[in-house]
Every structure is written in C-alpha cells, then in structure tokens.
Amino acid sequence: MAYLGKPAYTIAVLQKYNFNFRKQYGQNFLIDEGVLEDIIDKSGITEDDCVLEIGPGIGTLTQYLAEKSRHVVAVEIDKALIPILADTLSDYDNVTVINDDILKVDITKLAEEYNSGRPIKVVANLPYYITTPIVMELLEGDAPIKSITVMVQKEVADRMQCGPGTKDYGALSLAVGYYADAKVILNVPPSCFMPQPKVGSSVIKLDIYDKPPVDTTDPKYMFKVIRAGFNMRRKTLVNALLGGSLGLTKEKIEAALDKMGLSPTIRGEALTLAQFAELADILRG
C-alpha cells in the first residue's frame, strides 16, 4: 500500500488529480511518516475507538487512523478533495467521508450513528486560520468527546497550555483549562508539510475532564467576564470590565475584587481560572 506520508506519493496523487492548494482552506499536507506515527501513538487511539478527523485533506493522516481505530469519520469542507479521498482511502472499509463544514456538523449525532453515543476521539491537522473557533466548538458544544489531539500553530498551542502572568496567557488558555488537561506532545517544523507553512507547528492533546476543575454557578457568564477581562489587555481589570458589555459599575467591580483580597489595579492576566470563577459569581450574585 502507498502510504501518503511519503512525499513522492503525495506529489503523485496531487498531480494525478491536478489539485491546486486553496489558500482559503489553509491547506498544508503532512509529508513526514515519523510525525504521523508519533501523532497516532501519542493520541492514544485504540482499535475500539471511533475517531473524528477534521480536514483530512488527501487522506494522509486518515490512512494511519484507519489502521489503528475501529472507525474514522472524516469531515472535509473542500469538495475538490472528495474524489481524491475516495481513491486514497479505497482500501479501508472503516472510513466515512463527509463533505461539510465541521462548524455546521452535529457531532453528537455522529457519535450516536458511529459509536452508539459513546465518547469519540478527535484527531486533526487543523487549518490555522480557524483553529480557535473549531477548538472552542468542540469544547463548548456538549458533544461526547473523550480527547482532542490537534496539530495547530505553535503559538496557539502555547496559549492553550500556559498559566497566569505569562505573555501568552489569555481567554483561550482559561477556556481550555476549564474543559481539559492540555499538553503539547510534539513540535513540528515547517519542512514536514507540503506546502511549507511560514510558522512552526505543535501537536497538543486535550484530555476532556469529566468535571471542570473549578465550580461556578454560570459558566457562560464566567466566560463573558474572562473575555471582557482580556479584551483590553493593557488596562486594569476594573477598566477592562467597564469597557465590556456586562453593564457593571466601577464600584461593584472594585467591591468584588476587595472581597477577594485583590488590588483594584490588578490586570486580568494575573488571575487564575479559580479566581475568575469566584469573581464571576460575586459579580453575578
């Protein structure tokens, strides 16, 4: 079998179908077998798993996933890739390809249809221009997901797993930290892709929590507070929250911070997830 992890096979497939890379879909195909094997190994895929792959491209990672899992559901937005996938995945009877936008797909329905409603695992080489919306939809969408292993731009991976006080810490760090245990498992240079991206990449694994690590009466309100707190990063948290759409007064915000023993000049980047949860509950209640 011709595994697409070999550059020569990738080039042959692209030439066979006269495929042109489409910039609007952020297409960068992996051409390094070692990286592909590492992703499969560190994602923890087993023969009992149903895997959701987002953006399979020409089926490079899909082939490896199909070898290791019970079933792969691959969602590809580019209809020009569908006949190529039919060709490159023709040897596998455990792969279902869906031509759709992942942000419009009912993942809970997919889990019911292909995994009897049990949690699925997500593995993907995500298009960098839409990484954050996809990750947040996976985390916040209430679909049964056990883990998310994704290739993303290195600086985005850094933002997902960093802590308070660091330059990369922000709303994405807190959102990921609320839903999952995040760990970068692999760094990947541009030379491992065709065409080569201009930035380095990382594979990050998010193991979804059964229960969030902090308690809050209203998670949606907490995230409104978090987003407002980072919208104007250089301002104090008081001024950032005043500039948001929460309808808060300066006195109420300062009273809440005082109750928590925090300075009125503190910035959002200094607060932990637990502190944001406490602050949101005080402001709301």
Helix (H) / strand (E) containing 23: none
CATH dotted code for 219-284: 1.10.8.100
pLDDT at residue 280, rounded to an integer: 98
Q: Are 135 and 148 in contact (CB under 8 A)?
A: yes
Alpha-carbon distance values, 144 to 101, 116, 149, 223, 274 (Å): 19, 11, 15, 21, 25
**CA proximity to 49, closest of 114, 106, 102:** 114
What's 7-208's CATH class?
alpha beta
Tens of pLDDT along the chain (285 residues)? Answer: 557 778 888 889 988 988 887 766 678 889 899 999 999 999 999 999 999 999 999 999 999 999 999 999 999 999 999 999 999 999 999 999 999 999 999 999 999 999 999 999 999 999 888 999 999 999 999 999 999 999 999 999 999 998 898 888 999 999 999 999 999 999 999 999 988 888 999 999 999 999 999 999 999 999 999 999 998 878 999 999 998 889 999 999 999 999 999 999 999 999 999 999 999 999 998
Both tokens of residue 215? 């308690």
pTM: 0.92
- What three-state secondary structure class fits 16? helix
Q: What is the DSSP letter of 63?
A: H
Please list the helix, strand and coil fractions of the chain in percent, rounded to the nearest 5, in that order: 45, 20, 35
Domain range annotation of the chain: 7-208, 219-284
Q: How many CB atoms lie within 10 A of CB 84?
A: 20
Same fold, 7-208 and 219-284: no
- Does residue 123 contact residue 53 with C-beta atoms inside 8 Å? yes
Tell me if 58 sits within 8 A of 2, measured CB to CB: no
Contact 279, 257 (CB under 8 A): yes
The dihedrals phi and psi of 88, each to the nearest 5 degrees, come to: -70, -20
| The pLDDT value given to residue 24 | 67
User: Phi first, then psi: what are they for 260, rounded to 5°?
Assistant: -90, -5
Residue 25: per-residue pLDDT: 67
